[in-house]
Amino acid sequence: MDISTLTILFALGSAGVGIIYAAYLALWVRGLDGGTPEMKKIQAAIHEGASAYMARQYKTVAIVGAVIFILLWGAGQWSEHFGILTACGFVVGGVASAISGYVGMMVAVRANAKTAQAAHKGLNAALQVAFRGGAVTGLLLISLGLLAVTGFYAIAINVASEGKAVASLLSLGLGGSLISLFARVGGGIYTKAADVGADLVGKVEAGIPEDDPRNPAVIADNVGDNVGDCAGMAADLFETYAVTTVATMALAHLLYPESKLAMLFPLVLGGAAIIMTIIGSWFVRLGPGGGIMPALYKGFIATGVLSAISFYPITYYLMDGIGGIPAFNYYMTALIGLAVTITLVAITDYYTAKHYSPVREIAEASVSGHATNIIAGLAVGKQSTAPPVLVISAAILGSYSLAGLFGVAIAAEAMLTMAGIVVAIDSFGPITDNAGGIAEMANMGSSVRGVTDPLDAVGNTTKAVTKGYAIGSAGLAAIVLFSEYTRSVSVGGVRMVFDLSDPLVLVGLFIGGMLPFLFASFLMKAVGDAAGAIVEEVRRQFREIKGIMDGSGQPEYGKCVDIVTTAAIRKMIVPSLIPVVAPIIVGLVLGPKALGGVLVGSIITGLFVAIKMTSGGAAWDNAKKYIEEGKHGGKHKPAHQAAVTGDTVGDPYKDTAGPGINPMIKVINLVAVLFGVLLFS
């Protein structure tokens, strides 16, 4: 058996181990006590709402996907890189992304009530349930991603040429990206429309607590946490993981056509990382100090250290001397990728956690009123873009100096090998958030809320950290895709040169730079419109249903669920089509140079806009939580009211528009690469 076959078998075997362990964790969560009949009733309502929304979302996406499938298949008449294999790759990527998001979300839904019930046994017990529930999503993401890419490549290489196999892999990435885009956009609109609507009427107007069962929008809010933060984030990082892997393989094919091992190298890194993620997850436990974030970071750091150790023999064995570059240089680029991950996590933590100055400055500004809270939050969001961009820039320069463009690709791939543990920590957030909501709605008492509230507060930071990581890795991945575009697309058989004095390149840069702003504006407006409908519905129920406030009347939760479900499905279509249609139009009207400019422009502005929105929004949220702990007068005081306003503005920033830009950038690049080959080669 040759080494190429062994590497493919190792990757497939590692993916299988990850799926089996995820299944074990899912069964473990399922076997736990679901609590009282009231808790089970609430959990069932959340499950029903999440399932109904996901079914409608996937039906909508399937229509768009069917059109793209036909186009990819039919394009085989004009280019040898297209046809049924490329179309099937698109389907495989989309289905794998959908499965990872859907199954992970359903396990997270079950973990909600069980985390609340475990809180009776203490902080560590609840922590373990929430983290293991989230770990199912993380492990499924990287395992299904590796299985899809490796398995499809193994089939494609046996039935088609190397070039067509690579094109079909890029199509697989497009399938994952399309699902991710719709999941991020639709789920983000859903979760924030419900959240904003519930807060504006419940906390601001009626003065009732968050997750109060008297609020008709509370079930919709809890459903939104799962479809947005669990399914949406899982699909988002699945496509980033898959796209980065296939882009690295495609780049290896172009740079080192004589070396098949270079193409297989990212698959082996991914396989090793799955094993290290499983081992690293065992390190998550409370220490003597009882710190929740340090407990989660133990697993994160352990995974990173173990991955760094395992990468060395893999790199030495597979990559030594390829392209005239020693294995040590390639290994250092992988370490740069891991270092960037750790650094981005630390930076995002600084700008969004309650115990650092940015969040406390927003809280202090709230004392002066609503306007000063907004000004401070906007300032923090803008400032938070500088350190990550400097880190990413240093990583690009460092990895390029060590191993050229392929070194940048390896750094991006190494970053994404951490996706499993990062998503596990991320999914911990919505699980603990909903656990607190169920504890409130089921009247479980202050002792349980004393456990779920600290978990929820940490979960808000972990969600922000994951978004920062996703955006940073997307920036590196998009650069690799742009390089693939410049090498695969030519004009008259001559490789393109992007000259800034060329007006076509400049126009492309302007159009590409505009797209993230246009995309984000659609999402912000969608959340505002849907939230307005929720506000009117909650007000109507408070006005017309007698006895809601004293507990003798029952709110109509299903009405709010229906409103946000319909709004999210309807309003996700146009913004989701922007990154698909825009590069095709620019390519047809202005040509390949302008299209290349679009790719660069979207990467540059998209990175800044996404970081600003996600970090700024999370800082607003935690400033509110900081005040709710008793600072600056505590709840129901003027500072708290101003902080609620900031949190409400920040909600669509951090959970809809900001993270939605991540898949948007990669969809633009993938569409350009695939259809650029068809149009210009």
Q: What is the pLDDT of residues 628-640, one digit of tens each?
A: 888 888 887 889 8
Name the H helices within 545-657: 557-571, 573-590, 592-628, 638-652
Report the distance separating Cα 437 and Cα 116, nearest Å: 9
Hey, is 501 helix, strand or coil?
A: coil
Name the H helices within 256-369: 260-281, 292-319, 327-352, 357-365
The pLDDT-based confidence of 491 (bands split at 50, 70, 90) is low
Q: What is the predicted pLDDT for the residue at 681?
A: 61
CA angle 338, 174, 225 (to 5 degrees): 70
The pLDDT-based confidence of 147 (bands split at 50, 70, 90) is very high
Q: What is the predicted pLDDT for the residue at 150?
A: 92
Instruction: Give every CB contact of residue 471 below 8 A, 6+ residues apart in sequence.
Output: 388, 607, 610, 611, 614, 658, 659, 661, 662
Q: What is the predicted pLDDT for the residue at 678?
A: 66
Q: What is the mean pLDDT of residues 655-676?
A: 84
The pLDDT-based confidence of 677 (bands split at 50, 70, 90) is low
Q: What is the mean pLDDT of residues 552-581?
A: 85
Tokens of 379: 């300032």
Please, are residues 645 and 222 in contact by the beta-carbon 8 Å criterion? no
Q: What is the predicted pLDDT for the residue at 431?
A: 85
Please, are residues 53 and 565 in contact by the beta-carbon 8 Å criterion? yes
Q: What is the predicted pLDDT for the residue at 490?
A: 64
Containing 669, the helix (H) or strand (E) segment is: helix 658-680
Rg of the chain's alpha carbons, rounded to an integer? 24
The pLDDT-based confidence of 679 (bands split at 50, 70, 90) is low
The pLDDT-based confidence of 472 (bands split at 50, 70, 90) is confident
The pLDDT-based confidence of 548 (bands split at 50, 70, 90) is confident
pLDDT one-digit tens code per residue, 4-44: 888 999 999 999 999 999 999 989 988 888 888 888 888 88
Tokens of 521: 């504006």
Beta bridge partners of 490: 495
Q: What is the predicted pLDDT for the residue at 550?
A: 75
pLDDT at 373 over 90: yes
Report the distance separating Cα 43 and Cα 138, nearest Å: 22
The torsion angles phi and psi of 546, rounded to 5 degrees, stand at -75, 140
Report the distance separating Cα 18 and Cα 51, nearest Å: 25
Q: What is the mean pLDDT of residues 429-437?
A: 81
Q: At what angle do helices 557-571 and 503-544 cross, to 10 degrees?
A: 170
Please, are residues 352 and 655 in contact by the beta-carbon 8 Å criterion? no
Tokens of 401: 């100096």
The pLDDT-based confidence of 335 (bands split at 50, 70, 90) is very high
Q: What is the mean pLDDT of residues 394-407?
A: 92
Q: What is the mean pLDDT of residues 579-607?
A: 90
Q: What is the DSSP string of 358-414?
A: HHHHHHHHGGG-HHHHHHHHHHHHHHTTHHHHHHHHHHHHHHHHHHHHHHHHHHHHH
First vs last C-alpha separation in the chain: 37
Please, are residues 548 and 637 in contact by the beta-carbon 8 Å criterion? no
Nearest CA-CA partner of 188 in 477, 398, 470: 470
Report the distance separating Cα 225 and Cα 203, nearest Å: 18
Residues written for the chain: 681
Q: What is the mean pLDDT of residues 214-220?
A: 82
Q: What is the mean pLDDT of residues 499-519?
A: 92
The pLDDT-based confidence of 680 (bands split at 50, 70, 90) is low
Report the distance separating Cα 360 and Cα 374, nearest Å: 14
pLDDT at 368 over 60: yes
Instruction: Give every CB contact of residue 420 below 8 A, 6+ residues apart in sequence.
Output: 18, 135, 138, 139, 141, 142, 143, 273, 274, 277, 303
Report the distance separating Cα 435 and Cα 126, nearest Å: 9
Report the distance separating Cα 12 and Cα 21, nearest Å: 14
Q: What is the predicted pLDDT for the residue at 663?
A: 84
Q: What is the mean pLDDT of residues 646-673?
A: 86
pLDDT one-digit tens code per residue, 53-106: 888 888 888 888 888 888 888 876 776 667 888 888 889 988 888 887 788 778
The pLDDT-based confidence of 492 (bands split at 50, 70, 90) is low
Nearest CA-CA partner of 253 in 488, 91, 475, 80: 488
Please, are residues 195 and 224 in contact by the beta-carbon 8 Å criterion? yes
The torsion angles phi and psi of 430, rounded to 5 degrees, stand at -65, -30
Tokens of 42: 């609430």
The torsion angles phi and psi of 494, rounded to 5 degrees, stand at -110, 135
Nearest CA-CA partner of 569 in 186, 91, 251: 186
Average pLDDT of the residues of the chain = 85
Burial class of residue 562 (count of CB atoms within 10 Å of its CB; 0-12, 13-18, 19+) = middle
Report the distance separating Cα 189 and Cα 652, nearest Å: 8
Please, are residues 437 and 218 in contact by the beta-carbon 8 Å criterion? yes
Q: For the chain, give the percent of residues with pLDDT over 70.
A: 97
Please, are residues 662 and 471 in contact by the beta-carbon 8 Å criterion? yes
pLDDT one-digit tens code per residue, 518-546: 999 999 998 888 888 888 888 888 888 88
Q: Which residue has the higher pLDDT, 297 or 306?
A: 306
Report the distance separating Cα 438 and Cα 450, nearest Å: 13
Report the distance separating Cα 502 and Cα 305, nearest Å: 46
pLDDT one-digit tens code per residue, 107-145: 878 888 888 888 888 888 888 988 898 888 889 889 989
pLDDT at 474 over 80: no
Q: What is the predicted pLDDT for the residue at 81?
A: 67
Report the distance separating Cα 681 and Cα 679, nearest Å: 6
Report the distance separating Cα 4 and Cα 191, nearest Å: 45
Report the distance separating Cα 383 and Cα 511, nearest Å: 25
